[in-house]
Amino acid sequence: MYHSITEVQRSITEVQHSITEVQRAITEVQRAITEVQRANTGLRQVITEVYRSMTGVWLLLLG
C-alpha cells in the first residue's frame, strides 16, 4: 500500500499529538496521586488523634 510523504507526515504529526495528550494525562494522574497521598497522610493524623483521645477517655473512665 502506497502512502504519499504528506500522508506519512500527517500521521506522524497525529501520533506526536496523541503522545502529548497521553503525557498530559499522565501528569494529571500523578497530580491526583499526590493529592490522594496528602489526604491519606491527613486522615492518618486524624485517626491517630482520635485514637489518642479515646485512649485518654478510657484511662479517665477506668482510673
State the DSSP code for 46: H
Distance, in Å, from the CA atom of 55 to the CA atom of 58, rounded to the nearest integer, reads: 5
Q: What is the pLDDT of residue 7?
A: 94
- CA 31, distance to chain mean position in Å, is 5
H-assigned helices in 1-63: 5-62
Q: Profile the chain (63 residues) by mean pLDDT over runs of 10 residues.
A: 89 98 98 97 95 88 83
pLDDT at position 61: 87
What pLDDT is stored for residue 23 in this prediction?
A: 98
pLDDT (0 to 100) of residue 11: 96
The model carries a pTM of 0.65
